[in-house]
Amino acid sequence: MNKQYKSSTRRGIEWTDYTWNPVGGCQHGCRWTMPDGSVAICYAELVAERVASEIYVHGFEHHYWRPDVLKEPQKLKKPARIFLDSMSDLMGHWVPDAQIEAVLDVCRQTPQHQYQLLTKNAPRLTKFDFPSNVWVGVSAPPSMIMGKRLTHLQQVRMVERQLNTLKKVQVPVRWMSIEPLSFDIAPLLKDSPLEWAVIGAATNGKKTYQPESVWVQKTLDVLDAQGTKVFFKGNLEWHEWREEFPAVKEVAIVGNSP
C-alpha cells in the first residue's frame, strides 16, 4: 500500500491517506485536450509507463489482478481514508465481478477504514451492494475515452448519467472528482446527490492550466447551496482555500436499485 504524504507543495493525492490497488491497469484510454491544444494522458498511465514499468510489464491497458495485496488494509493500525483504485477503475467493464466482490469483502472486514472509490463507468455501480464504509465517486468526463473524442453534448450526457446513477447507490458519501474543471459543469450539478466534490485544474506534465474563474465560482455557488463539501486539489488557484470533508453518516444497506 502506498502512503500519499501531504506537503506544503500540495502534490500527490491530497484527499486520501493511502492508495490500494488489488486491481491495476485501465482500458479507458482517457485523454484531455488542454487550452493550448496539447493533449494530456492519464496520470496513472504515465506512472505505469515510467516509474512503475517493472510492475506494469504488459502495459497499462492490461488487466492486473493482485490478490496478494488484498489483506493490506488489515495491516494498518489506525483508521484511514484509502483510495482503492488509483491505478485502475474497479468498475471497469474488463474487471470480473468476482474480483470486485473480493475487494468489497475486504472493505466489509475493515469497517474502521473509509474507502474512496472513483469510476468513469457509473452504470456498473448498480450491480453491487457496497459496504457502509465505501464512498462512491464518479469522474468528470475527459476529452477522449476509448479512442473516441467526446463532443460537449456527450460530456453533458455522461455527467447526467453519472449523477442519475449515484442517486440509486446507497452509500454514506457520493462524490465527484471534477479534475480538471474544463467546462461550465455547474448547471449539471443542481439538485445532485453529491455529498463531496474534489475540484482541480488541468495539467500536462509540469504545466498547469487554470479553469475559467467564472466556472469555479458558479460550481461553488451550486455546491454550497446544496450543502456539498468541497476539496480543492493543490493545482487549483483560488482566493479562499477549501479542504473540506463530508460528515460520514451511517447508511442501512438494503440493496442498490437496479
What domains lie within the chain, and their CATH numbers? 15-232 (3.80.30)
Q: pLDDT band at residue 248, thresholds of 50, 70 and 90?
A: confident
Q: pLDDT band at residue 250, thresholds of 50, 70 and 90?
A: low
Long-range contacts of 220-226 (CB under 8 A, 24+ apart): 221/186, 222/186, 222/187, 222/189, 222/190, 223/189, 223/194, 223/197, 226/190, 226/191, 226/192, 226/194
Q: What pLDDT is recorded for position 253? A: 41
Report the C-alpha gap between 130 and 152 in whole angstroms: 32
The DSSP secondary structure of 192-248, one letter per residue, reads ---SEEEE--EEETTEEEPPPHHHHHHHHHHHHHTT-EEEE-TT---SS--B--PPP
Average pLDDT, the chain: 92
Asked if 82 and 114 touch (Cβ cutoff 8 Å), the reply is yes
And the C-alpha cell for 189? 450539478
Q: pTM of this prediction?
A: 0.91
Residue of 79, 128, 137, 81 lying closest to 102 (CA atoms): 128
Report the C-alpha gap between 36 and 77 in whole angstroms: 46
Q: What is the pLDDT of residues 101-155, one digit of tens each?
A: 999 999 999 999 999 999 999 999 999 999 999 999 999 999 999 999 999 999 9
